[in-house]
Amino acid sequence: MKNGLKRLALAFALSTLAAGGAAAQSHLRIGLAEDPDVLDPTLARTYVGRIVFASICDKLFDIDEKLNIVPQLALGHETSADGKEVTIKLRPGVKFHDGEAFTAEAAKYSLERHLTMKGSFRKPELGSVDKVEIVDPTTIKLVLKEPFSPLLAQLTDRAGMMVSPKAAEAAGDKFGLKPVCAGPFKFVERVQQDRIVVEKFADYWNKDQVFIDKVTFLPIVDGTVRLANLRSGGLDMIERVLATDIKTVRDNPKLKLTKAVSLGYMGLTMNLANGPKANNPLGKDARVRRAFELSIDRDALNQVVFNGEFVPGNQWVNPTNSYYQQAFPVPKRDVAKAKALLKEAGVTGPIALDFMVPNGPETRAVAEVVQSMAAEAGFDLKIRVTEFATSLKQGEDGDFQVYLIGWSGRSDPDGNSFVFQTCGAPQNNGKYCDKEVDAAHAEARAKSDPAVRKKAYETVARKFLADGQIIYLYHPQVLVALSDKVDGYRQMPDGLVRVVGVKLK
């Protein structure tokens, strides 16, 4: 009896403590998988940072579920016949969080800041822009050095985010400590690695669609703990649910799961010509790389590691994307043919390969499955688990033969392919170089007609996939879990969390 009383007292004490942390109404708490970097659209470069930006910084354009480009701070655009001038009509009556008006001048300022600021990561994205002109108070014109069709897609992301010129001038490179934009929520405070708090912006141009008063982003790195917080009611929404936790979420009547095939991919990059490690049959002979690909069963990989939830793929865009080349479907596993190809290439005995794998439970599991499948065809993959940051450097230096590396994905196919596939491009770790592929990419960049671009990418696919420089494996699912109190949430394929339109019951 005495013990029972004690326990009761303890329970009471603890629950009183817990009540102290209870949330206010209409307060949405979102669990992030990482701590975002600096919150300055010009200097930011992490994926997780984009999730926070989606609440505070509106862009000229946005994407919809089908990846169509839709207006946000812009009302529309017009591209000149020669493709070298893009005129953008801006939404009138928009205000920044500091009360300043969003005008053509402010838009010009924001774009020029992206283009000229020291250390700006937007420079390459807007590299085709020669200058920005003001046509009238609500119209700007981008004058391009050469036609560049992926430009509008760039303006649906950080390069299209508009900042208050007054606040940006005052803060300089410290703008990210207190960003002032024109999004649905304004920045309140940030405690590094703990939380980012934003509150509803009363003068938002689309304020009738904002039903949440306050949003808190909490970075919780451990996937299990993130889910535990959602289950205990400490969070209302979490991003990047582990594929292995999908069942737990589905079995819980108080939780909902939203899915969308991600814009990104996971693939195996082969070292073709980057340093001495390229000197082996895999680096030198496309038939050996083809044999490697034929040894992999992408469906089985998906079943084993991701419970069949992800999407097997063989191209830089997923099979549901309008730029996916149906003529080159995901190849089926064929070990006999793989062995025959190796024989034809004159390879005898197993080929030992240095297989660099960035550390992580999912990447390690994928690597082990690939290793055992490839072994059956005659490849002896030596898995080398490497800390992520180190692997980036070693990838650049050519210190690998096979590198398991993914890409978070962009809405335009150019963003998923150009920097990996063209001669001398920054992320072309295997140093692949083919003039025909380069020419097709240039064509896809210059033309804005989707049919013409798709045709150009067909040339890329025919050559690049046959050369086997990157063996694309799968496209992850964007998995966001929500409490059943959250209503009206729609998941976009870019994985970002858009709070406009969301309600809390």
Partner 1 sequence: MLAFLTQRLLQVIPTLILVSMLIFGLQQLLPGDPALIMAGEERDPAVLEEIRQQYRLNEPIPVQYFYWVKGVLSGNLGESMRLKSSVASLVAEKLPVTLQLAAMAIVIALGIGIPAGIVSAVKKDTAWDYGANIFALWGISTPNFWLGILMIFLFSVTLAWLPASGYVRLGEDWRASLATTIMPAFVLGNAIAAILMRHTRSAMLQAMGADYVRTARAKGLVERRVVLKHALRNAMTPVITLGALEFGTLLSGAVLTEQIFTIPGFGKLIVDAVFNRDYAVVQGVVLVTASTYIALNLLADVAYVLVNPRLRG
Residues that bind partner 1 (CB under 8 A): 11, 14-21, 35, 37-38, 40, 43, 45-47, 118-121, 123-124, 173-174, 176-177, 191-195, 218-222, 224-225, 228-229, 231-234, 387-390, 392-394, 396, 407-408, 419, 426-427
Q: Which is nearer to partner 1, 63 or 210 (CB)?
A: 63
Q: Are 112 and 83 in contact (CB under 8 A)?
A: no
CB of 361 to partner 1, least distance (A): 14
Alpha carbon distance 170, 294 (integer Å): 58
Q: Which is nearer to partner 1, 360 or 450 (CB)?
A: 360
Q: Which is nearer to partner 1, 35 or 62 (CB)?
A: 35
DSSP one-letter string for 225-254: HHHHHHHTTS-SEESS--GGGHHHHHH-TT
Q: Are 30 and 216 in contact (CB under 8 A)?
A: yes
CB of 307 to partner 1, least distance (A): 22
Angle, helices 361-377/286-294, rounded to nearest 10 degrees: 110
CB of 40 to partner 1, least distance (A): 7
Alpha carbon distance 364, 342 (integer Å): 27
- Residue at token pair 């969003």: 102
Q: Are 302 and 312 in contact (CB under 8 A)?
A: yes
Q: Which is nearer to partner 1, 118 or 505 (CB)?
A: 118
Tell me the sheet residues that pair with 261.
Answer: 477
CB of 118 to partner 1, least distance (A): 6
Taking alpha carbons only, the member of 159, 129, 156 closest to residue 74 is 156
Please state the three-class secondary structure of 251-289 as a single string.
Answer: HCCCEEEEEEECCCEEEEEECCCCCHHHCCHHHHCHHHH
Alpha carbon distance 168, 489 (integer Å): 32
Q: Which is nearer to partner 1, 6 or 207 (CB)?
A: 6
Q: Which is nearer to partner 1, 343 or 393 (CB)?
A: 393
Q: Which is nearer to partner 1, 18 or 70 (CB)?
A: 18
Alpha carbon distance 52, 49 (integer Å): 5
Q: Are 154 and 126 in contact (CB under 8 A)?
A: yes
CB of 411 to partner 1, least distance (A): 14
Q: Which is nearer to partner 1, 33 or 465 (CB)?
A: 33
Strand 351-358 relative to strand 402-407: parallel, antiparallel, unpaired? Answer: parallel
Q: Which is nearer to partner 1, 15 or 322 (CB)?
A: 15
How many other C-beta atoms lie within 10 A of the C-beta of residue 53? 23
Alpha carbon distance 441, 453 (integer Å): 9
CA separation (Å) from 3 to 7, 8, 100, 108?
A: 6, 9, 63, 71
Q: Which is nearer to partner 1, 230 or 351 (CB)?
A: 230
CB of 112 to partner 1, least distance (A): 16
467's CB contacts (< 8 A; 6+ apart) are 286, 289, 432, 434
